[in-house]
């Protein structure tokens, strides 16, 4: 009997063994294929990075070499510098450097990109590069030369020793010392040298992009936890503030704030609020909950939100955008003064579409950007500004609006909302010089919510 059983089972076991072996082989091949593909992508990104940093050095040199009166050549050179730097930044993001200190080099490239972009987009015939900006460009040329040299050395080592980027990823993941891998050591050296460069005199326009929103920027005196408890209770309409829990954040730093939590029935995790320590201003509020049905329309949600803002210290706001998800409306409001819509001072309100309850408020932009602004009268009339538009553009509405343009300048514009090429657009035309500062394609709901 055992003989007959063995005769039957042996072929079955043999087939199973062969199948297991084949499956293991295919799994191994598939894994190798994935690793080879990842390695090839890393190698391509690294060699492209080395090429573009070299190209960046060359392009800055070409820009410095043009005649000082050739503004078109300067603009072309600066645009190329911006484009090449952006490509280099993209390639850095494709390398496994997240656990490796390379932030100084990334910040250096980001500053070059912003410097070049901001200089290129302005009218150089009216505002040519200043002497300080030319010195900055010359400094960037010298520094990019050193970075190019250092990256070439890393590239040479990689090619000569046939190093793999997958080993870099494994070394970083296993927390090995940088000296254990030539690529890690090379990139660490590059970043260290960049960190040792003398301070560069970036233009104020460039550095304004990196101004952190620090609590010291706010007006008012510092408040206590008890004062915040009272503020939160008043905001939530609580007669008894005993349930309000307050925690201070960032003690001794420039980011001091208070976090507040209040148990609230029906919400996912109670009500949460954040206040600045300086001035005790509300930064955001959330009392998220599931909203299973929709009973309110866009206009009703907007009116409820506007009333809420009026009652909680945000008067004179006008709705400018609308979004809806899971039966919750997210409506953005901007301040409106003397018929000028101020997009710098804005708040976002979340309203549940079942019963109109306010479930969220984001007021950070309003808190940090609110200030007294003395706006000059527009130099152009509405009709003159309209000439900058596409002749086929059919405007439905027009208002004055204060915005930040692509180079972070506050500019007074005429805001035209209308249609062209079967699309709905919001176009901002500079009220002083007729330049189209910004164009946004919008949805019908956004135009609808802005109607008074």
In degrees, to the nearest 5, what angle opens at C-alpha 410 toward C-alphas 407 and 415?
Answer: 100
Q: Among 322, 348, 369, where does a domain finish? A: 369
- Say if CB 306 and CB 316 are below 8 A apart: no
Q: Identify the weakest region by mean pLDDT among 122-131, 149-158, 207-216, 251-260.
A: 207-216
Q: Does 50 share its domain with 175?
A: yes
**In whole angstroms, what is the distance from residue 451 CA to residue 223 CA?**
39
Q: Does 394 share its domain with 340?
A: no
Long-range contacts of residues 384-390, Cβ cutoff 8 Å, at least 24 apart: 384/434, 385/414, 385/429, 385/430, 385/431, 385/434, 386/414, 386/416, 386/429, 387/434, 388/429, 388/434, 388/435, 388/436, 389/416, 389/427, 389/429, 389/436, 390/420
* pLDDT at res. 332: 95
User: What is the percentage of the chain residues whose pLDDT exceeds 70?
Assistant: 83
**In whole angstroms, what is the distance from residue 351 CA to residue 195 CA?**
47
Domain at 260, CATH number: 3.30.310
Q: Helices 103-121 and 182-195 sit at what angle, rounded to 10 degrees?
A: 50
Q: Does 99 share its domain with 115?
A: yes
Whether 4 is covered by a domain: the verdict is no
Whether 360 is covered by a domain: the verdict is yes
Instruction: Count the domains in the chain.
Output: 3
The mean pLDDT of the chain is 82
Is pLDDT above 60 for 45?
yes
Domain at 391, CATH number: 3.10.450
Q: Does 129 share its domain with 247?
A: no
Whether 376 is covered by a domain: the verdict is no
Is pLDDT above 60 for 29?
no
The 10s digit of each residue's pLDDT in 416-431 is 999 998 899 999 999 9
Q: Does 194 share its domain with 225?
A: no
Spell out the alpha helix ranges (H) of 66-164: 71-93, 103-121, 131-161
Is pLDDT above 60 for 209?
no
The 10s digit of each residue's pLDDT in 147-193 is 888 888 888 877 777 777 777 666 666 654 544 567 777 777 787 87
The Cβ of residue 381 has, within 10 Å, a number of other Cβ atoms equal to 10
Whether 67 is covered by a domain: the verdict is yes
Mean pLDDT of all residues in 243-252: 84
Mean pLDDT of all residues in 195-203: 69
**In whole angstroms, what is the distance from residue 190 CA to residue 181 CA?**
14
What phi, psi does 162 have (nearest 5°)?
Answer: 55, 50
pTM for the whole structure? 0.68
Q: Which of 106, 295, 252, 287 is nearest to 190 (CA)?
A: 106
Q: Which of 348, 297, 358, 296 is nearest to 320 (CA)?
A: 348
Higher pLDDT, 9 or 54: 54
* pLDDT at res. 282: 93
**In whole angstroms, what is the distance from residue 331 CA to residue 307 CA?**
13
Higher pLDDT, 398 or 217: 398
Beta bridge pairs of residue 412: 402
Q: Does 421 share its domain with 364?
A: no
Element (H, E) at 338: none
Higher pLDDT, 46 or 419: 419
Whether 19 is covered by a domain: the verdict is yes
Whether 143 is covered by a domain: the verdict is yes
* pLDDT at res. 178: 44
Is pLDDT above 80 for 301?
yes
Q: Does 423 share its domain with 324?
A: no
The 10s digit of each residue's pLDDT in 96-148 is 766 566 778 888 888 888 888 888 877 777 778 888 888 888 888 888 888 88
Q: Does 255 share its domain with 347?
A: yes
* pLDDT at res. 411: 92
Q: Among 163, 179, 210, where does a domain finish? A: 210
**In whole angstroms, what is the distance from residue 217 CA to residue 451 CA?**
34
Q: Does 55 share its domain with 109?
A: yes
Whether 20 is covered by a domain: the verdict is yes
Close Cβ partners of 65 (under 8 Å, ≥ 6 residues apart):
none
Whether 321 is covered by a domain: the verdict is yes
Is pLDDT above 80 for 363?
yes
Range of the domain at 138: 10-210
């Amino acid at each position: 009997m055992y003989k007959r059983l063995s005769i039957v089972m042996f072929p079955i076991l043999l087939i199973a063994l062969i199948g297991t072996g084949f499956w293991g082989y295919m799994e191994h091949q598939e894994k190798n294929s994935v690793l080879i593909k990842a390695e090839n992508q890393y190698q391509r990104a690294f060699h492209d990075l080395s090429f573009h940093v070299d190209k960046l050095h060359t392009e800055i040199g070409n820009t410095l070499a043009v005649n000082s009166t050739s503004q078109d050549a300067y603009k072309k050179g600066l645009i190329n510098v911006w484009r090449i730097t952006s490509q280099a930044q993209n390639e850095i993001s494709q390398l496994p450097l997240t656990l490796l200190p390379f932030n100084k080099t990334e910040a250096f490239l980001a500053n070059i990109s912003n410097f070049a972009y901001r200089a290129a987009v302005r009218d150089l015939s009216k505002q040519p590069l200043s002497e300080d900006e030319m010195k900055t460009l010359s400094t960037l040329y010298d520094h990019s030369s050193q970075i190019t040299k250092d990256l070439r050395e890393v590239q040479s080592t990689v090619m000569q020793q046939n190093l793999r980027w997958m080993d870099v990823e494994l070394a970083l993941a296993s927390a090995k010392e940088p000296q254990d891998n030539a690529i890690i050591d090379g990139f660490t050296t590059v970043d260290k040298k960049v960190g040792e460069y003398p301070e560069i005199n970036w233009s104020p326009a460039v550095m304004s992009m990196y101004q952190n929103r620090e609590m010291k920027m706010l007006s008012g005196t510092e408040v206590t936890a008890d004062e915040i408890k009272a503020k939160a209770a008043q905001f939530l309409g609580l007669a008894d503030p005993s349930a309000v829990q307050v925690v201070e954040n960032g003690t001794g730093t420039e980011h001091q704030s208070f976090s507040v939590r209040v148990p609230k029935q029906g919400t996912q995790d109670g009500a949460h609020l954040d206040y600045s320590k300086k001035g005790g201003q509300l930064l955001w509020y959330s009392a998220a909950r599931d909203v299973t049905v929709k009973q309110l329309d866009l206009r009703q949600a907007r009116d409820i939100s506007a009333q809420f803002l009026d009652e909680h210290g945000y008067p004179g706001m006008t709705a400018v955008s609308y979004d809806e998800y899971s039966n919750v409306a997210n409506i953005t409001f901007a301040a409106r003064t003397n018929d000028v819509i101020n997009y710098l001072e804005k708040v976002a309100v979340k309203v549940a579409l079942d019963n109109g309850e306010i479930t969220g408020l984001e007021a950070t932009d309003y808190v940090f950007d609110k200030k007294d602004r003395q706006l000059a009268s527009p130099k152009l009339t509405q009709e003159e500004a309209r000439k900058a538009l596409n002749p086929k553009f059919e405007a439905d509405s027009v208002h004055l609006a204060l915005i930040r343009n692509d180079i972070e300048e506050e500019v007074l514009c005429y805001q035209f909302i209308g249609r062209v090429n079967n699309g709905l657009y919001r176009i901002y035309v500079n009220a002083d010089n007729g330049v189209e500062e910004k164009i946004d394609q919008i949805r019908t709901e956004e135009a609808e919510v802005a109607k008074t």
